[in-house]
Amino acid sequence: MDILQIVIVSIIASILFILLKDVNPTFAFFIVIVVGIMIFASVIGQIRLIFQVIQSLGDQANVPGLYLETILKIIGIAYIAELGASMTQDAGLQSVAKNIELAGKIFILLLAIPIITSVIEAIVSFLPTV
C-alpha cells in the first residue's frame, strides 16, 4: 500500500467511524482498530528495509552489532508503544495509554543501560587518575 492508498483508506475509515459511533460504537471502534492494523501491516515491509539500511551503514562504520541491535530495538519499542497508546487513547482509555507509554519508556531505558554504561566507561577512561 502506498501513501495515497493509506490516506484514502484512513479517510474512509474516519467517515465510517463518525457515521457509526453513535449507532454502534463497538463496531465503529473495530473499524479503527482494523484500519490501524492494516496500515501497520502495510508499512512493516518498509520498516524492515529501513532496518537493513541502518544495519548496512553500521557495518560500514564498524559499529558493534550490540549497539546497533539495541538502537533498532529501542526504535521498534517506541513505535509499538506509540501505536498501542494511540489506539487505547482513541478508545477513551487515557490511563491505559499512559501506562503503555510508561512501559515503553521503561523498556527503552532497560535496553539503553549497556550503551549508557559504555559511554560512562569511555568518559571515565579519559579522565586523569588522581
Instruction: Give me the pLDDT at residue 126, please.
Output: 87
Side-chain half-sphere of 108: how many Cα atoms within 13 Å? 17
Segment 59-67 long-range contacts (CB within 8 Å, at least 24 positions apart) = 66/114, 67/115, 67/118
Question: Residue 1 pLDDT > 70, yes or no?
Answer: no
What secondary structure, in 3-state letters, does the chain show?
Answer: CCHHHHHHHHHHHHHHHHHHCCCCHHHHHHHHHHHHHHHHHHHHHHHHHHHHHHHHHHHHCCCCHHHHHHHHHHHHHHHHHHHHHHHHHHCCCHHHHHHHHHHHHHHHHHHHHHHHHHHHHHHHHHCCCC
pLDDT one-digit tens code per residue, 69-120? 888 889 889 988 998 898 888 878 899 999 999 999 999 999 999 888 888 9
What are the φ/ψ torsions at residue 93 (nearest 5 degrees)? -105, 70
Domain map (residue ranges) of the chain: 64-130
CB atoms within 10 A of CB 97: 20
Question: Residue 63 pLDDT > 80, yes or no?
Answer: no
Find cell 553500521 and name the residue.
Answer: 58
